[in-house]
Amino acid sequence: NADKLFREWSRHWDMSRQFLLEKSPPNIVRLRYFQALYPGSRFIVILRHPLAVSYATRKWSKTTIPELLEHSILCYERFLSDMSHLRHLAAFRYEEFVQGPKPTLDLVTDWLGMPKVELKHEVRPDVNAKYFETYREEQASFLNRLKPSFANMAEKFEARANALGYSIEEPERLVPVPWLGLHG
């Protein structure tokens, strides 16, 4: 499986590079499998507010925001349960990265043992704001208040989101969590 997967991925890589990257979001629930296939690998996980993820992906799926939110939170919870089994992991929040990308980038390059790199593109710190505004507008919508799945979304997901470092009730608020940072 390791050889087959490497062949498939290597078509997309510059094989002359020292470091190779595969960044598909679904991989967050496959890290233990990848570690078994590639024992020396290192994993960098960047979590993003589940509401922002839900609103950003809604255009591609024919799924409701409550269903997308459940999916995002479930994937993050699976990641948390897998964390203790991962030997080399860096876990960060997107929201903190975009506020100060250079320190996070420097921390990761040091952890990987690679030279520091310069940012070549602007990192916009306000991308989630439009999703949070849409969420508030939809929460206030008369029709959505009649839908049980949407009307009690904050109540239903708040505790689970808090365990992940986020809030549904106050989306801009980041909840402290002890598991962020470098592991191994």
Q: What confidence category does residue 152 fall into, taking pLDDT thresholds of 50, 70 and 90?
A: confident
Q: How far apart are the first and last CA of the chain?
A: 25
For the CA atoms of 181, 114, 124, 92, what is the dihedral angle to 10 degrees?
Answer: -10
Share of the chain above pLDDT 70, in %: 100
Q: What confidence category does residue 149 fall into, taking pLDDT thresholds of 50, 70 and 90?
A: confident
pLDDT tens figures, 21-39: 988 899 999 999 999 999 9
User: In this model, does residue 146 exceed pLDDT 80?
Assistant: no
- The whole-model pTM stands at 0.91
Q: What is the DSSP string of 140-176?
A: H-HHHHH-HHHHTHHHHHHHHHHHTT--SSSTTPPPP
> Which of 129, 133, 66, 67 is CA-nearest to residue 99?
129
Region of poorest pLDDT, from 1-5, 130-134, 148-152, 158-162: 148-152
Which long-range contacts link 7-11 to residues 24+ away (Cβ below 8 Å)? none
Residue type, 50: P
E strand or H helix at 44, and its extent? strand 43-47
pLDDT for position 115: 93
H runs (alpha helix) in 64-112? 65-83, 94-99, 101-112
User: In this model, does residue 134 exceed pLDDT 90?
Assistant: yes
Provide mean pLDDT across the span 9-16: 93
Q: List phi, psi (to 5°) of 23.
A: -125, 30
User: In this model, does residue 164 exceed pLDDT 90?
Assistant: yes
pLDDT tens figures, 44-93: 999 999 999 999 999 999 899 999 999 999 999 999 999 999 999 999 99
CB-neighbour burial class of residue 3 (10 A; exposed 0-12, middle 13-18, buried 19+): exposed
